[in-house]
Amino acid sequence: MTATSAGSIALADGLTVNRMGYGAMQLAGPHVFGPPKDRDEAVRVVRTAVERGVTYIDTSDFYGPHVTNEIIREALAPYAEGVHIFTKVGALRGDDGSWIPSITPASLKEQVHSNLKTLGLDVLDVVYLRLPNRDTTTDDPISEEFGALAELRQEGLIRHLGLSGASDTQLTEAQRIAPVVAIQNLYNLVNRQDDALLERCARENIAFASFFPLGGFSPIQSDTLSDVAARVGASPQQVALAWLLRRSATSVVIPGTSKVAHLEENIKAAELTLPADAIAGLDAIGES
C-alpha cells in the first residue's frame, strides 16, 4: 500500500508528484487554530505519509497559524529529494481564529517569507495565490497580486506558482505573467461546478488538486456512494477519493488527517479500482 499506486504527474522540470497527496490542515488544533492535541502523533502522520510514497504535501503558514509548517519542518527537515511542499498565501488569522483575506502585494511577500522561515527552506517548491472567494470563484483581476509572487519567483524564492479558488479567466490572466503548475479549487463528488476547468487543466498538464475532497466540514453523504462502497469492499471516503483520481489524468487528491490509521486508510484509495457502472452512478451524483 503506497501512494505510488495512484500514478504520478510531471508538472515541470524537477517537479514530479504522486497523485495521492496529503493535506496538512488538520494537523493544527480545532478549526485549524492553535496547536494539536497530540503533537507527536501529528509528526508521525507527516513522516508516515512520506514513507508511504506521498510526495505532494499541502500546507500554509496560516494553518495554526505557523503550526502545520513547524510540524512539517520537525518531521521532515532536512527534506528528502523528491518530496515537494505546496503552500498557500493570501490570508492571515485573527487572534480569535478568524480568517482574514490579505492579498496586497506587500502582504503576499511577507507571507512568502514567513513560510520560508517556518518550513526551514531557502526556496519554496510551489506557492498558491489563495483568492478570497474560493467557494464561488470570480473573474476579478489578479495581475497585481500574482505578479508580486512572480517577482519572488524571478528572485529565486519560489520555484513554481499555482492558484487556489481561481476561475478559468483568472488562470488565463495568470498564465500571461508566469507559468501555472497547479490549481486548487473546491471540487468533489457533489461540488462539480469546476468540471470545465478541471478538464482544461488536464489538457494543459496542470495539476488540479481538490480541496475538501471528502466534503470538508460537511462530509459527503450519498446513498449511491454508500452502495458502491459496500459493493467494492471499501469505505465511502476511499471511493470518493478513488473517483477523484480517475476523474482526470492530472487530478490530485490531498485528504487531510491527524491520525496515522486514517492516513493509511486514505492512501489505500490509490489502489481501488471502480467498475464502470459504479463510476457512472457516482458521476450522476454531481448531475442531480
**Helix runs in the chain, H state only:** 39-51, 67-76, 105-119, 143-154, 168-175, 195-203, 223-232, 236-247, 260-268, 276-285
Report residue 198 as a C-alpha cell. 478541471
Out of 22, 56, 63, 128, the active site residue is 63
Nearest alpha carbon to residue 191 among 169, 210, 209: 210
Q: Is-contact 84 17, C-beta < 8 A?
A: yes
The CA–CA distances, whole Å, from 115 to 25, 89, 237, 240 equal 14, 9, 31, 31
Report residue 32 as a C-alpha cell. 485549524
Nearest alpha carbon to residue 260 among 50, 18, 17: 50
10 Å CB burial of residue 255 (0-12, 13-18, 19+) is buried
Q: What is the CA radius of gyration of the chain?
A: 18
Q: Is-contact 182 205, C-beta < 8 A?
A: no
Question: What is the torsion angle, in degrees rounded to the nearest 10, for the CA atoms of residue 209, residue 268, residue 203 and residue 216?
Answer: -30
For residue 16, report the phi and psi dihedrals to the nearest 5 degrees.
Answer: -115, 130
Active site residue 56: no
Q: What is the C-alpha to C-alpha distance for residues 90 and 88, in angstroms, rounded to an integer?
A: 7
Q: Which residues are catalytic?
A: 63
